Amino acid sequence: MDQAQTLRKIMNALEGRLFSEPTQIPVISIVFAREDVANLRTQKALTKLLGTKGIKTLSVSSEANHDSIKRESSMLWSVNPKTLKDAPLDQWDLSDRGVRVVLIDGKTSVDEERLCLYDRDHETVVVLTGQETDRVAAYQIIKSLQKRVGVKKVSVLVMGTLEPRDGVRVFTQLHELCCRFLDIELVYLGCILKSAENDEKNHDRRFHPKFLLDYKTRSALLADLEVVARRLGLIPAQ
């Protein structure tokens, strides 16, 4: 690493950024409109799905309680965002580990401590249910990301709908609200049906205490998430 790169990493660390420069590797920040136990399950399911497709992933999450980038499996690395604030990553840090996707867990809301989890160069995914309170919370999240981080485009995923058209309806309502007050592009990723969520909860109760460990058995949730992953460009289109 030359002197200029070293200086850039130091400056980005001082600014609280997780990456010292834009990277060609997709970086996706995921934020939920509400706190729910299903949030962590969904993120883990997406990570596992990518692993089954041979896509090595770096998970950036406060759930990681170690002070360095840790190899969790052949397909997964993990790191706490506080670690990256002290030593921002660059393209080579990711490439050397074979990482092809970075998933950042933004939890819920956008506050001072979590601003570093977003960047105008990242793909940002906002996840909400069909409840009106979720729509208001999602709007506030999107407004904060635009005003404070400079995000110009947000992808939207709807969870817990009874049928696909319900997801479109929820997205349309959020889109109309944002278009009325914000200058931002919203993209609809799709929905995860309630039947898919229930399918995985039943798997939890009846078969295994950990979520979705048997990927040999096709599930409704995996099918819905694979559509989302393809629309994000993480998995090649068939």
Q: Domains, the chain, ranges and CATH?
A: 8-231 (3.40.50.300)
Which residue's entry shows tokens 């995996």? 222
User: Which pLDDT score is estimated for 126?
Assistant: 98
Which is more confidently placed, 209 or 53?
53
Which is more confidently placed, 165 or 206?
165
Q: How far is the CA of 178 from the CAs of 19, 28, 99, in angstroms? A: 29, 21, 34
Helix or strand (DSSP H, E) at 155: strand 153-161
pLDDT tens sequence across 75-123: 999 999 999 988 888 888 899 999 999 999 999 988 888 888 999 889 9
Q: Please check the confidence at residue 201 and state whether its pLDDT lies above 50.
A: no
Average pLDDT of the residues in 21-29: 89
Q: Which residues contact 230 (CB under 8 A, 6 or more apart)?
A: 236, 237, 238
pLDDT tens sequence across 30-57: 999 999 888 888 999 999 999 999 999 9
Phi and psi (nearest 5°) for 39?
Answer: -60, -50
Q: Please check the confidence at residue 140 and state whether its pLDDT lies above 60.
A: yes
Helix or strand (DSSP H, E) at 192: strand 185-193
- Measure the CA–CA gap between 180 and 162, rounded to whole angstroms: 28
Q: Please check the confidence at residue 172 and state whether its pLDDT lies above 70.
A: yes
Q: Residue type at 229?
A: A
For the purposes of burial, counting CB atoms within 10 Å of the CB of 160, is it exposed (0-12), middle (13-18) or buried (19 or more)?
Answer: buried
User: Which pLDDT score is estimated for 40?
Assistant: 85
For the purposes of burial, counting CB atoms within 10 Å of the CB of 238, is it exposed (0-12), middle (13-18) or buried (19 or more)?
Answer: exposed
* Average pLDDT, rounded, for the chain: 84
Annotate 29-96 with three-state secondary structure: EEEECCCCHHHHHHHHHHHHHHHHCCCCEEEECCCCCCCCCEEEECCEEEECHHHHHHCCECHHHHHH
Predicted confidence band of residue 215 (pLDDT cuts 50, 70, 90): very low
β-pair type (153-161, 185-193): parallel
Average pLDDT of the residues in 159-179: 95
- Measure the CA–CA gap between 129 and 114, rounded to whole angstroms: 22
Neighbours of 101 (CB within 10 A): 23
Predicted confidence band of residue 180 (pLDDT cuts 50, 70, 90): very high
Q: Please check the confidence at residue 230 and state whether its pLDDT lies above 90.
A: yes
Contact 196, 203 (CB under 8 A): no
Q: Which residues contact 134 (CB under 8 A, 6 or more apart)?
A: 33, 34, 128
3-class state of residue 153 by DSSP: strand
Neighbours of 198 (CB within 10 A): 13
- Measure the CA–CA gap between 149 and 207, rounded to whole angstroms: 43
